[in-house]
Amino acid sequence: MWIQVILVLGFVVVALWDLRSSGGARHQAIRRILLVVFIGLAVFSVLFPSWLTWVAVRLGVGRGADLVLYALVVAFLSFIATTYRRFSTFDRKITALARDLALAEARLQSEESTVRSAGAADRQQARSA
């Protein structure tokens, strides 16, 4: 059936899309365009529900509601994959920041102890003299 081919291709496209690196402004623009298209189709489907059933029948699905369910499964899997990638990126960034902060604090403490030692040595020399 056509719907099986389309769904499998949808899964492959989602997987490939989520595996590639997110490319800044271009990636954001594509996501916004897809969101506007999705909203437009949703509004159109609400206003003309028979249209959705007609499309579903042409694709080999019995009802428009089933077609919506299949599309939502693809969208949900895409959301899960992109959220996982985003959280993984955030985790790596937080780890790097925590490591840099710990090293900076260690350097600062080391410098403070060196300054204290030098100050104590100067006081000791001043007492001796």
More confident residue, 65 or 43: 65
Q: Where are the alpha helices (DSSP H) in the chain?
A: 2-19, 24-47, 49-59, 64-128
List of residues 6+ apart from 45 with CB closer than 8 A? 51, 52, 64, 68
Look at residue 120 and tell me whether its pLDDT is greater than 90. Answer: no
Look at residue 107 and tell me whether its pLDDT is greater than 90. Answer: yes
Kindly indicate the confidence band of residue 129, based on its pLDDT and cuts at 50, 70 and 90: low
Q: What is the pLDDT of residues 12-48, one digit of tens each?
A: 777 676 666 666 777 777 777 877 787 788 888 888 8
Of 38-42, 48-52, 92-96, give the range with the top mean pLDDT.
92-96
Give which of 9, 5, 34, 14 is closest to 82, Cα–Cα: 14
